[in-house]
Structure 1
């Protein structure tokens, strides 16, 4: 997240309207086209797709910045493929990085 936000600040904001981020070891089994572009998109975690929320690995430790309260559950996303309009990717990456730093200072590591 730090690398993404830094590259946006330094270069990407001048070059693109949308940014799509994918893990380097992703294997695409079909075409991915312009239809994914919107102000925000994410990918549901394939390991939890179709399962009920009781199987989701939400962070339940209240001190963690990634904590999800029981009454705020929804979908379970994976960071393997996501993207948004440039300002939204920047906002997301910056917020995630800052939350990770807070957890690191408090000796909390996400599983």
Structure 2
């Protein structure tokens, strides 16, 4: 998230209105269209699409800033595809980065790093 925060702030802030983050090895098997263009959008993780919240791989250690209690959370999102309006994405990646930095200072890393903070 650090590089995304810096890149948005220093390079593309005045060059784009919208930003999508995608894993470099993403393969799309269908249409990915304008319906994805909202303030913020994310893709449900394919491994947990039909799973109950108790089985989601949320960060369950209360010491982490990414902590989600067992009785909370309705969906589990992948960090492989997500996007939104540039300013909203900037706020989100900055928040996730700052929270992961707090974790690092406290000697903890969230179970699924950035994805845990995104969720």
Give the TM-score category using the shorter length.
Answer: over 0.9
Say which SS state the counterpart of residue 24 (structure 2) adopts. coil
Counterpart Cα distance in 1 of 2:15 and 2:108: 36
Aligned 8 A contact 2:54 2:70 in 1: no
TM-score, scaled relative to structure 1: 0.94
Counterpart Cα distance in 2 of 1:35 and 1:60: 32
Alignment of 1:16-95 (within 5 A): 16-95=16-95
Counterpart Cα distance in 1 of 2:67 and 2:53: 15
Say which SS state the counterpart of residue 66 (structure 2) adopts. coil
Say which SS state the counterpart of residue 19 (structure 1) adopts. strand
| Structure 2: 5+ residue stretches without partners | 112-119
Between the two proteins, the alignment pairs up a number of residues equal to: 111
Taking only aligned residues, the RMSD between alpha carbons, in angstroms, comes to 1.1
Counterpart Cα distance in 2 of 1:106 and 1:94: 18
Counterpart Cα distance in 1 of 2:86 and 2:104: 27
| Structure 1: 5+ residue stretches without partners | none
Between the two structures, name the one with larger relative contact order (CA 8 Å, sep ≥ 6): 1
Counterpart Cα distance in 2 of 1:88 and 1:52: 29
Counterpart Cα distance in 1 of 2:72 and 2:92: 19
- Which deviations, in whole Å up to 9, do the C-alpha atoms of 1:34-71 show, x marking residues without a partner? 22111010010100111111211111111101001233
Counterpart Cα distance in 1 of 2:33 and 2:50: 24
TM-score, scaled relative to structure 2: 0.88
